[in-house]
Amino acid sequence: MTTFFTTLDGPVGELLLVGDGNALTGLYMQAQKYRREVQSDWRRTAKPFVTAIEQLRAYFAGALRTFDLPLAPRGTEFQRTVWRALLDVPFGRTETYGALARRIDAPNAARAVGLANGHNPLGIIVPCHRVIGANGSLTGYGGGFERKRWLLAHEARLAPLLT
C-alpha cells in the first residue's frame, strides 16, 4: 500500500499529513514526540489531503470546531479506544486523564490513558490537547506545551462565538 504525505504551514508550525489515499493516518507537528518521519518510499502529493487541509485552515481561522474526515490511526485496541474517546471532548473544553479513564470504563488507568494520549497520531484532529492533569496543569503533550497552550487558548476564545 502506498503512503502519501504533504505538509501544511499553520499557526503552530509546519504540520505533516500522512495517509493511505482513503483516510488520514497521521497529523504530526515539528519536533513532536513520537512523530513519524517521512520515508523514502512515501509519495508527496497534496491531492489526498485537500479536504483535511481545507478543514485545518478553517479550524485555525476560527470557522470550524469539528472535523469530518476519514481517519485510520494505527495503534493498539486500548490506544484506539482512548483516541475515539478524545473525539467526544467538546471544542473549547478540557477533560482530565482520570475522567477520560473513567469514561472508557478503565477508572484505574489514568496513566495508560496518558500514554495512549501521548501516542495519538492525529494531533489537533483527534484533540489530545484537550486533556489536562488532575490539578488543571498542561501535562503530557507530545507537541510541546506552547502549542498546547495556543490550541487551548484558540478554542477557548472561539467556543462562545461558535455555539
Q: Which residues are catalytic?
A: 128
Q: How far is CA 149 from CA 5, 12, 33, 139, 145, in A?
A: 27, 10, 17, 11, 6
The distance from CA 121 to its chain's CA centroid, rounded to whole angstroms, is 7
Q: Which residues pair with 4 in a beta bridge?
A: 19, 43
Q: Which residues pair with 96 in a beta bridge?
A: 132
- CA 3/CA 67 separation, integer angstroms: 22
